[in-house]
Amino acid sequence: MDPPERLGMFRVVCLLAVFDAVCLLDTGMLFPRESSSREVKELNGLWDFRADQSPNRNQGFDRAWYKSRLAETGPVIDMPVPASYNDITQDPALRDFIGWVWYEREVVVPARWVADGGTRVVLRVGSAHYYSVVWVNGVKVTEHDGGHLPFEVEIGSLIRKDPTVPCRITIAVNNTLTLETLPPGTIQHMDDRTKYPEGFFVQNFNFDFFNYAGIHRPVLLYTTPKAYVDDITVVTDFLDNTGLVKYNVSVQGAANATLSVTLIDKDGRCVATSNGPAGVLKVVDVKLWWPYLMHENPGYLYSMEVRLTAADGKSTFEDVYSLPVGIRTVSVTSTQFLINNKPFYFHGVNKHEDSDIRGKGLDWPLIVKDFNLMKWLGANSFRTSHYPYAEEILQMCDRHGIVVIDECPGVGIKDIRSFGKASLTHHLVVMDELVRRDKNHPSVVMWSVANEPAAEMPPAEFYFKTLIQHTKALDPTRPVTYITASNYARDKGAPYVDVICVNSYFSWYHDPGHLEVIPIQLNTQFENWYGKYQKPIIQSEYGADAVPGLHSDPPVMFTEEYQKVVLQSYHNVFDQKRKQYVIGELIWNFADFMTVQGITRVVGNKKGVFTRQRQPKAAAFILRERYWRLANETGILPPWTKYPCSL
Ligand code: GCB
């Protein structure tokens, strides 16, 4: 198909899209928001915590720690939620712990919630890494397989059983990774008693970040009426000056509900209305959602208010949910990535959810600082390497116009046994959960189903074909990719992706110290991939470690100068190829981050252009100058944002 046809096809599909036809999940996962019908009670703060140090890590289950207060089972410590537990104490055994840890907190539930049988009370965990089991007052209520994504359960009937007892929430979390988890890993027991103590084992995996664990995102209770808005899907488009918001609302708890839908602009004006569970809102003189630095008013959001009314004979229920909506389109040709039919060039970063002390725990000061740094850099995009980030971060992206490649935790799939049926089945469910959670974010423009899998192995073809086709069926409106570092000629999944995303580290992992090879090797890389697949290419990772404060001229590896020259050498080639088919460049990495200990890592990965404490290295200034220059060339900047005036 030639480019215009592909584009046309995309637009038609957008309007006809039925999002959830292939989804294996039967309920929605709307972000908990307060409204006139919904209350939210955050359970963040200090929880009681106990790691199960027993040899098989199973004492907590054997002795049913969930049945009584955790403090009655043995010694507990304070543990902040949200946070990884690893760096909170001085105990190396807890930092490197593998197995079950137990969290507990008693909650005072508002009497009104308990008294009103027409209120649903939902317990929601933003994410816990990796496997979680949840009890309320000693009764198991749910379990969840996988970190980085939310799960929830209705607990109204349990807390109403005996309103005089406080609501005790126990959450057991296990960070063990197996061949079938995402990411995968293996446990290796060392039985040679001349070398290792009794019971010694390690967790092996093939990814380059610390396997932080615990309750990483907010835990909360929220209410809805018995009849409620369970899920909303929006797909947007526009024709000339008219915006189109196609919506679908699913309802639970009522056979017959009346729905009214109102779209409200930033000034509080109602711009379109509709009734019923599905429809199209037409917005005259639409204000489109634009990326940062591509338009003078980026990140424009409407608010879609969904109002449900239902009756069950005895009572009537009203539920109100407001969803932020950005109206924009995304499409791909063989050489371009288009947002609102205009070529978009990704000049951005790869990140990690990672910082001192809290590890992967959600931290508002850090989030806001990172957005300020990205805007300072002139970055218009990032990839959620290598797992879904907090919804709160995506909401910031929506509001600030930062474009996102949304990646699932499919990182380190290298062992042939991780291409089996059980792994694929789980991977499909994770994509269902990811798309269900993030489908309505205008900032999310592409799904990434994996990072650097062993794509040359024979089973990779069926695996990635299935995964990519499933993801496209889930969401026909966004391109799908995975990130490759394999040989262009033998990559089994590349025929199925919409955009080729390539990672390479010339003069680092190959030809270390030889900066002069970068131009030729990078040029060859691009020509090979484009020559074979004729798809647009993003350089999804490149970079070099730099220990801040290490200097050398001529440059040597690990100095700030070496990192600078690597970047500049890549940039020269990008500048030639972006006139053809290269549609983006994402530096590895935004900031230094923690990894497992090893001979190639100096207290973590130092490829950040910022330190882990978010101070700039020399490379940050190189990148800043470049990104603002690119923005000036490719965007539609208002005069006050033009580099260098804004510096
Ligand atoms: C990669 C990986 C990333 C690593 C990076 C590195 O290709 O995708 O997770 O951290 O290289 O620095 O080695």
Q: Note the pLDDT of residue 15.
A: 41
CA dist., res. 294 & res. 304, Å (int): 25
The average pLDDT across 206-235 equals 98
DSSP, residue by residue, 345-392:
-EEEEE--S-BTTTBTS--HHHHHHHHHHHHHHT--EEE-TTSPPPHH
Residue with CA at minimum distance from ligand 1 atom 2: 208
Which of the four pLDDT bands, split at 50, 70 and 90, describes residue 645? very low
Residue 6 has pLDDT above 80, yes or no: no
Q: Tens digits of per-residue pLDDT, 229-244?
A: 999 999 999 999 999 9
Q: Note the pLDDT of residue 374.
A: 98
Atom of ligand 1 nearest to the CA of 593: 10
Which of the four pLDDT bands, split at 50, 70 and 90, describes residue 9? very low
β-pair partners for 343: 338
How many angstroms separate the alpha carbon of residue 587 from the centre of ligand 1?
11
Residue with CA at minimum distance from ligand 1 atom 5: 208
How many angstroms separate the alpha carbon of residue 35 from the centre of ligand 1?
42
Q: Note the pLDDT of residue 14.
A: 39
Which of the four pLDDT bands, split at 50, 70 and 90, describes residue 275? very high
208 lines ligand 1 (CB under 6 A): yes
Residue with CA at minimum distance from ligand 1 atom 3: 208
Q: Note the pLDDT of residue 620.
A: 98
Atom of ligand 1 nearest to the CA of 483: 8
**For 251, which DSSP code?**
E
Helices (H), 243-383: 364-377
CA dist., res. 239 & res. 286, Å (int): 10
588 lines ligand 1 (CB under 6 A): yes
CA dist., res. 480 & res. 498, Å (int): 6
What's the whole-number average pLDDT of the chain?
Answer: 94
CA angle 462, 463, 465 (to 5 degrees): 65
Q: Do residues 333 and 525 lie in contact, with contact meaning Cβ atoms separated by under 8 Å?
A: no
**For 68, which DSSP code?**
S
β-pair partners for 235: 246
451 lines ligand 1 (CB under 6 A): yes
CA dist., res. 647 & res. 645, Å (int): 6
Q: Note the pLDDT of residue 482.
A: 98
CA dist., res. 609 & res. 348, Å (int): 12
Phi-psi region of 231 (alpha: psi -120 to 50; beta: other; left: phi over 0): beta
- Nearest to 643, CA basis, from 111, 568, 633: 633
- Nearest to 160, CA basis, from 210, 236, 97, 223: 223
Atom of ligand 1 nearest to the CA of 485: 7
DSSP, residue by residue, 116-185:
-TTEEEEEEES-EESEEEEEETTEEEEEEE-SSS-EEEE-HHHHHH-TTS-EEEEEEEE----TTSSS--
Q: Note the pLDDT of residue 634.
A: 77
Which of the four pLDDT bands, split at 50, 70 and 90, describes residue 290? very high
Q: Tens digits of per-residue pLDDT, 465-501?
A: 999 999 999 999 999 999 999 999 999 999 999 999 9
485 lines ligand 1 (CB under 6 A): yes
CA dist., res. 274 & res. 226, Å (int): 23
Residue 7 has pLDDT above 50, yes or no: no
Backbone angles phi, psi at 621, to 5 degrees: -75, -35
Q: Note the pLDDT of residue 312.
A: 85
Q: Tens digits of per-residue pLDDT, 17-44?
A: 445 457 679 999 999 999 999 999 999 9
Q: Note the pLDDT of residue 179.
A: 98
Q: Do residues 302 and 325 lie in contact, with contact meaning Cβ atoms separated by under 8 Å?
A: yes
Q: Note the pLDDT of residue 21.
A: 56
540 lines ligand 1 (CB under 6 A): no
Q: Note the pLDDT of residue 24.
A: 76
Residue with CA at minimum distance from ligand 1 atom 4: 208
Residue 118 has pLDDT above 90, yes or no: yes
CA dist., res. 301 & res. 313, Å (int): 38
CA dist., res. 501 & res. 506, Å (int): 16
The average pLDDT across 291-299 equals 94
Residue 258 has pLDDT above 70, yes or no: yes
DSSP, residue by residue, 490-543:
T-SSGGG-SSEEEE--BTTTBSTT-GGGHHHHHHHHHHHHHHHH---EEEEE--
| Three-class DSSP labels, 628-646 | HHHHHHHCCCCHHHCCCCC
CA dist., res. 347 & res. 379, Å (int): 6
Q: Tens digits of per-residue pLDDT, 572-617?
A: 999 999 999 999 999 999 999 999 999 999 999 999 999 999 999 9
How many angstroms separate the alpha carbon of residue 54 from the centre of ligand 1?
34
Q: Tens digits of per-residue pLDDT, 428-443?
A: 999 999 999 999 999 9
CA dist., res. 81 & res. 134, Å (int): 15
Q: Which of 588, 605, 612 to mutate for ligand 1's pocket (most ligand atoms within 8 Å of CB)? A: 588
Q: Tens digits of per-residue pLDDT, 132-156?
A: 999 999 999 999 999 999 999 999 9
CA dist., res. 399 & res. 392, Å (int): 11
CA dist., res. 261 & res. 284, Å (int): 16
Window from 97-101, 372-376, 634-638 with minimum mean pLDDT: 634-638
Residue with CA at minimum distance from ligand 1 atom 13: 208
Q: Note the pLDDT of residue 536.
A: 98
Between 15 and 295, the more confident residue is 295
Residue 549, both tokens: 């404060």
How many angstroms separate the alpha carbon of residue 641 from the centre of ligand 1?
33
Residue 208 has pLDDT above 80, yes or no: yes
* Sign of the Cα pseudo-torsion (402, 408, 410, 411, in order): positive
Q: Tens digits of per-residue pLDDT, 613-644?
A: 999 999 999 999 999 999 988 766 665 555 55
| Helix/strand/coil for 86 | coil
How many angstroms separate the alpha carbon of residue 354 from the centre of ligand 1?
15
Residue with CA at minimum distance from ligand 1 atom 9: 208
How many angstroms separate the alpha carbon of residue 360 from the centre of ligand 1?
18
How many angstroms separate the alpha carbon of residue 594 from the centre of ligand 1?
12
Q: Please, which residues have CB within 8 angstroms of residue 79's CB and are 6 or more apart in sequence?
A: 46, 47, 48, 49, 85, 88, 103, 214
Atom of ligand 1 nearest to the CA of 545: 12
Q: Do residues 216 and 129 lie in contact, with contact meaning Cβ atoms separated by under 8 Å?
A: yes
Q: Tens digits of per-residue pLDDT, 500-524?
A: 999 999 999 999 999 999 999 999 9
Phi-psi region of 509 (alpha: psi -120 to 50; beta: other; left: phi over 0): alpha
Backbone angles phi, psi at 235, to 5 degrees: -130, 130
Residue with CA at minimum distance from ligand 1 atom 7: 503
CA dist., res. 561 & res. 513, Å (int): 12
List, by residue number, the catalytic residues.
452
